[in-house]
Structure formats: structure tokens, C-alpha cells
Amino acid sequence: MEDGVLSVDTANAVEAIPANYAAIDGLTQTSYTVPQGYHSGSGTVSLTGDIEEALAAI
């Protein structure tokens, strides 16, 4: 901070994204790619094999 002014380096800043919602139903949708925002955008969420098998048996 210089002379009471806060300096922020935004060269490597990642864009903030709004709230997001996704549904994984286990039949047609078994994974979801998390959109880029506060991270690289390469993250995924998916069901494990045992959960997929249990849902398929219903």
C-alpha cells in the first residue's frame, strides 16, 4: 500500500462466475464439468461406478 492506495495485480486474475446448478441423474447425465471461474475449468464431478450401478438397477 502506497500513500493509502491499495494496489492489486490482476495479471493472473481468474474471472468470477455466477452461481451455477447442475443435476446428475445417473442415467443420462453421469458427470459434470465445472466451468472455469475460480479455478482452471478442468475439474469434473462424477458418480462412482457403484452408484451408477445402483441407479441403473432401479
Helix or strand or coil: residue 53?
Answer: helix
Kindly report whether the global pTM for this prediction surpasses the value 0.85: no
The pLDDT assigned to 23 comes to: 81
Q: Which of 21, 29, 38, 19 has the alpha carbon at shortest distance from 46?
A: 29
Residues listed for the chain: 58
Per-residue pLDDT of the chain (58 residues; tens, 9 = 90+): 456 777 767 666 666 667 777 888 777 888 888 877 766 777 788 888 888 788 788 8
The pLDDT assigned to 1 comes to: 47
CB 38 within 8 A of CB 14: yes
Which residue carries 432401479 as its cell? 58
The pLDDT assigned to 53 comes to: 83
